[in-house]
Amino acid sequence: QNQKTKEQIESLLQNGKHKELRDRLCCRLTFGTAGLRSAMGAGFCYINDLTVIQSTQGIYKYLERCFSDFKQRGFVVGYDTRGQVTSNCSSKKLAKLTAAVLLAKDVPVYFFSTYVPTPFVPYAVQQLKAVAGVMITASHNRKEDNGYKVYWENGAQITSPHDKEIIKCIEECVEPWSGSWNENLVDTSLLRQDPLKKICDCYMEDLKKICYYRELNVQTNLKFVHTSFHGVGHDYVQLAFKAFGFQPPIPVPEQKDPDPDFSTVKCPNPEEGESVLELSLRLAEKENAKVVVATDPDADRLAVAEQQNGCWKVFTGNELAALFGWWMFSCWKENCSEDADVKNVYMLATTVSSKILRAIALKEGFHFEETLPGFKWIGSRVKDLLDNGKEVLFAFEESIGFMCGTSVLDKDGVSAAVVIAEMAAYLEGKNLTLAQKLTEIYETYGYHISKTSYFLCYEPPTIKRIFEKLRNFDGPQSYPSSCGIYNILHVRDITTGYDSSQPNKKSVLPVSKSSQMITFTFQNGCVATLRTSGTEPKIKYYAEMCALPEQSDRSVLEEELQKLIGALIENFLEPDKNGLIWRSA
């Protein structure tokens, strides 16, 4: 019933574009590391009115099977500010259609009356005891994309087997039901409630549980600049700073309000560093603000930059995690009861992220655990730990996703922004910058120097060929034993479940057949992973040198890492031969 997407298909048909029609109509969306995500437009593998209706019908069918009290407990729906005129597609409209499918089947729906940060949906699912929730967002993806993120009753993103079962249910009911197109139901149905005020108030109240130096925050002269990257973050970060006793951060005026075209940045991903933070850094210089915090468009991730002697340091996700890990543990130690047991304390990270938390845990006596890439694995594991009486202080993924505390079982840029502000204010009182503290952490626990980047590859067969070659390197079913001059100690292949370091040669982490991921542990202490992105056409590489505290020559470690990455690209990815596009500087 969407004229714009209908016209797109008709036009392709009239112009004989059969290959593109096949590409659009002959495959379905599947759940990746962040739910369903694709370009907006016509076709079954795109995000549009119809695919969102079909997905919600499948979810309804599955939830009805799983929960006898589904129609008492209800469902949460949130959305960001994305939109595309050419396909008459916006996050709000897709959220209304999601709600319509459920309301037409007499399911109570908690539908936010305005855009919210992604973390508000999992938070609301837990607070309101709903059976599940959906957030319509494509996070930091390019402006053409949108997505559909599903949260289970535990407040974590769905993992296997739920995703597989939902896909089956979607395929069983692809024809829209009679009430499914009625997007006005959210305005008329008595089963629709707006949870905005309650959830926002509760969230800000819960946030205070991880505020440890309120008096300092009230008094500090430190100034902060915040950019919300044309997304949802502005109002919520302002409120979070207020909850911690801070003066509000200075917003970047050109990026403060939602804009689905993200018109001041070439891509809306704060992870891209200084090039996309230009406006906020210039404003900070003008205002004499020492720290810039940037939330991505759906406010679930955080980038941080700090001014040092006239230039800026943009921290990587791994560096920020070292700071957060140190901070959350120090605050726990300072404030825990006398009988608190450090062995009951946990921190988590995805397996492609820095091992710095492992080093801190070994020295301080708490537990550290790894999960597969994607916060859905962290959220589920954290819930298990909490249910077993454990205390989880912090979890992260290197792509600037942080979970401070456990009010939200997903990454949260709003809470992370205000925690880093409190940390900066505290350190300023000790005459230290964030960067100086980071060096202290590395000197105490050992340098962890990492580099993450990617190549673009739009040809799935090429990606498959690259990884299959690694699995049959020196002959059938034999992985490489070296990479250039660097000897390989162990290989772990999450796609096939192989791990040469285990006695039974089986990976401890669960197998993930739907994506490619191989990790190499080198003799020189470097760990490197090659994997495909779950949300974009990328081959990513992650490499880290983990040194002991006594190995403190940073420049030697950096040089060694750089050489190893060069060998990895040249020998394993072969960009020229495979037509890979280098990440633009």
pLDDT digit of tens for each residue in the chain (585 aa)? Answer: 999 999 999 999 999 999 999 999 999 998 877 789 999 999 999 999 999 999 999 999 999 999 999 999 999 999 999 999 999 999 999 999 999 999 999 999 999 999 999 999 999 999 999 999 999 999 999 999 999 999 999 999 999 889 999 999 999 999 999 999 999 999 999 999 999 999 999 999 999 999 999 999 999 999 999 999 999 999 999 999 999 999 999 999 999 999 999 999 999 999 998 999 999 999 999 999 999 999 999 999 999 999 998 899 999 999 999 999 999 999 999 999 999 999 999 999 999 999 999 999 999 999 999 999 999 999 999 999 999 999 999 999 999 999 999 999 999 999 999 999 999 999 999 999 999 999 999 999 999 999 999 999 999 999 999 999 999 999 999 999 999 999 999 999 999 999 999 999 999 999 988 889 999 999 998 999 999 987 788 999 999 999 988 887 899 999 999 999 999 999 999 999 999 999 864
Q: Which amino acid is at 179?
A: G
**Domain 3-201 shares a fold with domain 447-582:** no
Provide the strand spans (E) within 272-366. 291-295, 302-308, 311-314, 345-350
Q: In this predicted structure, what is the pLDDT of residue 165?
A: 94
DSSP single-letter state for residue 289: -
Q: In this predicted structure, what is the pLDDT of residue 3?
A: 96
Could you give the residue ranges of the DSSP H alpha helices within 446-574? 460-471, 554-568
Q: In this predicted structure, what is the pLDDT of residue 135?
A: 98
Question: Distance between CA atoms of 445 and 356, rounded to whole angstroms?
Answer: 8
Return the closest-CA partner of residue 518 out of 547, 497, 502: 497
Cβ atoms of 560 and 526 closer than 8 Å: yes
CATH code for the part of the protein at 3-201: 3.40.120.10
The residues carrying an active-site annotation are: 139
Question: Distance between CA atoms of 186 and 194, rounded to whole angstroms?
Answer: 10
Q: Which residues of 485-495 are buried (b: 16+ CB within 10 A; e: fewer)?
A: ebebeebbbbb
Token code pair at residue 429: 């009182």
Kindly give, in sequence order, each residue whose CB lies less than 8 Å from that of residue 344, ignoring residues fewer than 6 positions away: 389, 390, 391
CATH superfamily of 210-444: Alpha-D-Glucose-1,6-Bisphosphate, subunit A, domain 3 (3.40.120.10)
Q: In this predicted structure, what is the pLDDT of residue 533?
A: 86
Question: Distance between CA atoms of 231 and 491, rounded to whole angstroms?
Answer: 40
Domain regions of the chain by residue span:
3-201, 210-444, 447-582
- Exposed / middle / buried, residue 202 (Cβ in 10 Å: 0-12, 13-18, 19+): middle
Cβ atoms of 7 and 41 closer than 8 Å: no
Token code pair at residue 116: 């919210």
Q: In this predicted structure, what is the pLDDT of residue 584?
A: 65
CATH of 447-582, one of 3.30.310.50, 3.30.200.20, 3.20.20.140, 3.40.1030.10: 3.30.310.50
Question: Distance between CA atoms of 181 and 151, rounded to whole angstroms?
Answer: 23
Q: In this predicted structure, what is the pLDDT of residue 433?
A: 98
Q: In this predicted structure, what is the pLDDT of residue 309?
A: 86
